[in-house]
Amino acid sequence: MRARPLLFFASLTALAACQSTTVPPPPATHFRGVAYTFNTPLPIPGATVSVAELPQFTTVTDENGYYDLAVEVTVANQKVTPFIVKATFHTIYLQTWTLQPGDADQTNVHFQTPDEGTFVLLSTLVGVGSKTTKCQVVTTVSDKVIQGMTYEQFRDHGAHGVAGVVASATPTLPKPIYFNAKVVPDVSLTETTDDGGVLWTDVPNGEYTLSAAHPTRQFTTIQITCTDNRIINANPPWGLHELP
């Protein structure tokens, strides 16, 4: 008669042990920012923001272009490349983050997105053609003063770049094209202007680390992931931003 109570209590103990080892999932990492039109302050409402590697996570920008994308990271070293889709605008990808479960939220992750007309014009200026199927990469070497600004402050600040910077990529890519002070790609330039813009055309598929060199100032490196038909704009205040 004593065996049954002992078996009962043993079962309860085993159940309690199982319950005590149940680990809740880590909190989602939120990407938050504003989608706006390339070279203007105009927001882009109703655009879809998602992740190339995890397309099940998606959200839509509000009437002010603001978005809040929750990404559930469940494995170590998860690649996260946000991108934006909107009719009459060209699809744009950002740089690639490598995240761990429970990583902190990422703020001021803005999308600087050209409409199709502007994309055609820029493509023509750099000689790649708007029908290209190759990966094109743009980023901005930006001043540390814009770090932590609200979008409104960022929008009203003016030029975000640092002049006199030479950008490079690993694995090695050909010399990039720099944007002049009028925000136009200029093949004659050998370093950044105050605009800070830099462009690599027809980049082979693969993962790259972008770097920025200046005589007296230090900048972060960033990761980008190229695939066919991908246009990357790793724009400020992320991209190749100056370190504090």
pLDDT tens sequence for the chain (244 residues): 455 554 444 454 554 555 556 778 889 999 999 999 988 889 999 999 999 999 999 999 999 999 999 999 999 999 999 999 999 999 999 999 999 999 999 999 999 999 999 998 888 888 886 677 899 999 999 999 999 999 999 989 888 999 999 999 999 999 999 999 998 899 999 999 999 999 999 999 999 999 999 999 999 999 999 999 999 999 999 999 999 9
162 occurs within a structural domain? yes
> For residue 215, is the peptide bond before it cis, meaning its omega torsion is within 30 degrees of 0?
no
Integer Cα distance of 139 and 235 in angstroms: 5
Is residue 5 in some structural domain?
no
Domain CATH number, residue 141: 2.60.40.1120
Which residues form the domain of 55? 29-241
Assess if residue 8 is contained within a domain.
Answer: no
d(CA 38, CA 48): 17
Q: How many structural domains does the chain have? A: 1
Residue 77 lies in a domain: yes
Q: Is residue 12 part of a domain?
A: no
- Residue 76 tokens read as 């170590």
Within a domain: residue 185? Answer: yes
Distances (CA, A) of 184 to 72, 99, 118, 123, 208: 38, 34, 11, 11, 24
Token pair for residue 104?
Answer: 């902190």
Residue 3 lies in a domain: no
